[in-house]
Structure 1
Amino acid sequence: MSIRDIIEGKKEWRAHVARVKALPRDYQIVYKEIQKYLFKVGPVELTEGTGLLSGIVDLFEEGATLGKGVLDVTGSDVAAFCDDLIKDSKTYADIYQESVNQEVNKAMKKVTDKKK
């Protein structure tokens, strides 16, 4: 990653944060909780630009423009809303599970090969 890429990424992030701050207060609160949840759950594409997060802001801006409450947009179970957004996404947990399974399989193969 070049310095130019880093600077461009920071500009994009600042613009994204400005959009979030322009949302009504209830939307900002729910957005921040969604962001925390997604950072903990760890969908891989979350670190690739602001695509998923920008899509959420787009949805929230539209809901606010229509005069909807934030929970009318997400539903009352915000974690389920998040899970639905990333249901087809690969997470860091998935990658780690695959790694653990590969290591176990390698170790078991060695044990099996030694018994032969």
Structure 2
Amino acid sequence: MGIQDIIEGKRQWRAHMTRVKALPPDYQIVYKEIQRYVFKVGPVDLLDGPLLSGILDFFEEGVAAGKGVLELIGDDVATFCDDLIKDSRTYADIHQESISRKPGTAEK
């Protein structure tokens, strides 16, 4: 990864966060909770995938339709997030695999 890639990544992230800040306050709060959750639990391909931008698109459509954020995702943010990443390999999966291997065996 070169310096240009880093600069472009930061530019894209700032543009993404500008879109988040344009959301109504309740949407912003829920988005930040989702972001915190997925950064912690983390699908392995989070940075390469469209997860966060897809959520943002979904929220922008909800705002345009005049819906409240909880109408879109339900009352439980964690359950919503778990449903989003249920088919993704997470860092928690990798950790669980590493502790369940027999001692002295190498990872493939």
TM-score (norm 1): 0.85
Displacement of 1:48 in angstroms is 2.4
Render the CA deviation track for 1:42-95: whole Å, top value 9, x for unaligned. 21111326x210000000000000000000011111110000000001000111
CA distance in 2, matches of 1:94, 1:16: 28
CA distance in 1, matches of 2:56, 2:28: 9
CA distance in 2, matches of 1:58, 1:70: 13
The structure where helix makes up a greater share of residues is 1
Partner of 2:75 in structure 1?
Answer: 76
TM-score (norm 2): 0.90
Question: Unaligned 5+ residue runs, structure 1?
Answer: 107-116
CA distance in 1, matches of 2:71, 2:103: 45
CA distance in 1, matches of 2:104, 2:72: 44
Across the aligned residues of Structure 1 and Structure 2, the Cα RMSD in angstroms comes to 1.7
Partner of 1:25 in structure 2?
Answer: 25
Number of aligned positions between the proteins? 106
Which secondary structure state, in structure 2, belongs to the residue aligned with residue 46 of structure 1? coil
CA distance in 2, matches of 1:17, 1:40: 18
CA distance in 2, matches of 1:103, 1:23: 48
Computing the radius of gyration over CA atoms, which structure comes out larger, 1 or 2? 1
Question: Higher relative CO (CA 8 A, sep ≥ 6), structure 1 or 2?
Answer: 2
| Structure-to-structure mapping, 1:1-116, within 5 angstroms | 1-48=1-48, 51-104=50-103, 106=105
Amino acid in the other structure paired with 2:91? Y
Amino acid in the other structure paired with 1:92? Y
CA distance in 2, matches of 1:66, 1:47: 28
Amino acid in the other structure paired with 1:4? Q
